Copies of this chain bind each other. A is one copy, B any other.
Amino acid sequence: MAKTDTKTQILDAALELISQDGLKATTTKAIAEKASVNEVTLFRHFESKEKLFLAVIDREAMVRFEIIQHEIEPSGDLVNELTMIGSFMSRGMLGKANFFKLMVMEVNRYPEIFDHIGAVPMAAIDMLEKYFDKAKTMGIVRNDVDSEIMAIAFFSYLFRILVTTAFLGDDIFMKNRTDDGMRQFAEIFVNGVAKRSD
């Protein structure tokens, strides 16, 4: 087996187990077993459990989703577009749910993780903010509310899905209605819950 493959296997196993049980409760023996390698091999590659842990973070933090990078031009149909953006971002973030949980659980003991946790959410909020800014200039979104607040409000719904899925296995509040819920949320977000006078 090539060296790089072994390393990858160990990193994968470490990510999965540490995100499940926490760093302290995860043994190097268990990681090695999950990676189908000898425990000694683990130490030969990473020296210590802590360095392995930090290597996991380094590797995962590298992979940004390009997904969120590019900006989106508002088309006019806010509800439809936000439904798609929301579903898209949600899927992207859920792909990193394990890593998110791992960081959040260990940030107390490793404060240097802190900045990584916010990175993806901040990028998502940033993209949404720009989207709303453009929609304002197009005259389809209100001018009297800060775009960042809009972005954070919208993002909060996605964040709830991420957190519940990462920590509890699935969206315990929406259960199996998550997909349908996104459209209904977008509807509320765009038009509000208040009854229109017209």
Contacts and interface: CB of A to CB of B under 8 A. Distances in A.
Interface string A135-147: 0000111110110
Contacts of A37: none
Nearest to A135: B193
Contacts of A125: 173
B109 A173 contact: no
Given A25-B109, A104-B167, A160 B156 contact: yes
Copies in the complex: 2
Contact of A141 (B21, B181, B195, B197): B195
B168 A78 contact: no
Contact of A188 (B20, B160, B189, B197): B189
Nearest to A78: B194
Nearest to A138: B195
Contact of A25 (B24, B146, B168): B24
B153 A194 contact: no
A186 to B, nearest CB: 10
Interface in A157-190: 157, 159-160, 163, 167-168, 172-174, 181, 184-185, 187-190
State the majority secondary structure of interface residues on A: helix
Interface residues of A, number: 55
A108 interface: yes
Contacts of A152: 160, 173-174, 181
Interface stretch (A1-9, A44-52, A57-65, A114-122): A114-122
A198 interface: yes
Interface string A58-91: 0000000000000000000010000000000000
Given A145-B187, A150-B193, A152-B181, 17 more contacts: A21-B24, A22-B24, A22-B25, A25-B25, A78-B194, A104-B168, A118-B172, A139-B195, A141-B193, A142-B194, A149-B185, A152-B160, A152-B173, A189-B189, A190-B193, A192-B192, A198-B198
